[in-house]
Amino acid sequence: MGRSPRTFDNYSRHVTALALHFKTLPTELDPEQVKDYLFELQQRSKTPSQTYFKHTVYGLRFLLKTEGLPYSFLHLPAIPQVKKLPVILSREEIWRMLQSAELLKHKLLIGLIYGCGLRCMEVRNIELQHLDFDRKMLHVVQGKGSKDRYVPLSEHLISGLKTFISIENPNQYLFNGNQNRNIEDIDVLAPNRKDFDSRYSQRGVQWVIKTISKKAGITKEVHTHTLRHSYATHLLEDGVPIIMVQKLLGHERIESTMEYLHVCQLSDQKPHSPLDTVFTLCSRNAGPK
């Protein structure tokens, strides 16, 4: 079908919400009822999510198509898009976060997300077999869009990773989250889930990034994706061609990468991890913590 299990799960949840709203099967609703429901969703939130509507509309459209019922009336409501530039951390702020993280595990989380431009899901999914220390590369397996890619590993990361692996002795995933059950390891919305696996939870990674950024005295709104934004911007500032940055980020469309293209002078340059530049520029006046 070309759709992932996660997509079908989102379809099911949103179509179920529609059914509960009307207390009837979605297949028995007429077009006007559906349009009224979508309009009500729009009015309910000052900043409605395009993704939320997409899952509702596409999920219902898929259901009606499967049942052989007409579905051409289903369209996404028009939602004005507010274009915002991404929040970017300076190299000094990245350095302060690395210095503020007391645990090696947390330092490596920051270092990998920023130094390799990873999404939250991608850093959680790192397995030992994905680390190629000899070639200084990380194999990002099945990232967004179910695509693989390779990104350079900083020598500083490799050194820390080897130490971490020798101490923690992980089995499959690099970062495990259920051994000590610390606050950052638990999905606070579902701490008793039976399907909890050995990976660091998404909320755990997010908790670490937000907590350490505050500890580092950063007043910007910092999320895991902020480090990825900073990775892309710093590479462009270092002169890495935008086509190469697109590949390193795993962007399907160059327009997505051009979001980071402000006023950069591009030149041909071998791709590298910007974490090396952070250490080069910032470690001169500060020793390792």
Q: Which residue among 11, 37, 200, 260 is the active-site one? A: 260
CA dihedral (190, 224, 109, 288) positive or negative:
negative
106 is catalytic: no
Q: Which residue among 21, 225, 247, 272 is the active-site one? A: 225
Q: List the Cα angle 84/85/90 in 5-degree steps.
A: 145
Q: Which residue among 119, 199, 229, 234 is the active-site one? A: 119
Q: Which residue among 105, 107, 156, 251 is the active-site one? A: 251
225 is catalytic: yes
Three-state SS sequence of the chain: CCCCHHHHHHHHHHHHHHHHHHCCCHHHCCHHHHHHHHHHHHHHCCCCCHHHHHHHHHHHHHHHHHCCCCCCCCCCCCCCCCCCCCCCCCHHHHHHHHHHCCCHHHHHHHHHHHHHCCCHHHHHCCEHHHEECCCCEEEECCCCCCCCEEEECCHHHHHHHHHHHHHHCCCCECCECCCCCCHHHCCCCCCCCCCCCCECCHHHHHHHHHHHHHHCCCCCCCCHHHHHHHHHHHHHHCCCCHHHHHHHHCCCCHHHHHHHCCCCCCCCCCCCCHHHHHHHHHCCCCCCC
228 is catalytic: yes
247 is catalytic: no
Q: Which residue among 144, 181, 193, 262 is the active-site one? A: 144
Q: Which residue among 96, 124, 203, 228 is the active-site one? A: 228
Instruction: Tell me the catalytic residues.
Output: 119, 144, 225, 228, 251, 260
